[in-house]
Homo-oligomer: A and B are copies of this chain.
Amino acid sequence: MSSEHPIGRRPGDPEVTRAAVLDAARSMFAEHGFEKATIRAIAAEASVDPALVLHYFGSKDKLFVSAHQLPFSPEDVESAIFDSDLDGLGERIARFYLSALAVPGSPAVSLLRATATHEEAAEMLRTFIDLTLMGPGLETVPGPDRRFRMSLVASHLLGVLFGRLILGIPELAESDLEDIIRPLATTFQRYLTDQI
């Protein structure tokens, strides 16, 4: 153990360093929220250089996703959903989220359960929605009320996940996913591009 590395980390062991940064990130995001938990503060908490955090994780968004083992990153959503024209936007959203999350073994189960009882988990899920559905790609949706429109979309997705995975409403839990995606796609397209 070297005195230059007071918490006993061996220099040059990237796995140990990564794990320490992820621990620090989870605790800082939970305590201070996404905006106020800076890379600098997370690095300090993990006793590493801020440049190393960026070297390992690329950005605060990506660090957040890695720290919480979230199923996809803001970049995945950007390219799957927003990097095309508005036609078909509702369908892409319904398909992307439900294919990833409305399935057996979905990470949405533990996330929704935790959210219902822990404010830190709720903060995490709000941030995840902010970084993905409400991320920069949302600028492609016209109208000053685009965040409100997307919050209606988010509510419907949350409700399908809750009803299918947590509550176990038979008609939602046992239906073919395509039969759910189709009507939601039409609803989402209307919420995002029509008069509501």
A3 interface contact, C-beta 8 A: no
Binds B, one of A13-21, A48-56, A177-185: A177-185
Are the CB atoms of A171 and B159 closer together than 8 Å? no
Binds B, one of A22-30, A69-77, A121-129: A121-129
Are the CB atoms of A160 and B155 closer together than 8 Å? yes
Cα of A153 to Cα of B113 in the assembled complex, Å: 22
Are the CB atoms of A129 and B169 closer together than 8 Å? yes
Cβ of A163: which chain B residues have Cβ within 8 Å of it? Answer: 151, 154-155, 158
Are the CB atoms of B183 and A154 closer together than 8 Å? no
Are the CB atoms of A191 and B183 closer together than 8 Å? yes
Q: Which residue of B lies closest to A173 (CB)?
A: B151
Interface residues of A in 160-196 (CB under 8 A from B): 160, 162-164, 166-169, 171-172, 175, 179-180, 182-184, 186-187, 190-191, 196
Can you list the 9 inter-chain pairs with the closest CB atoms, starting with the nearest? A159-B159, A116-B116, A151-B171, A155-B159, A183-B196, A158-B159, A155-B163, A155-B160, A148-B171
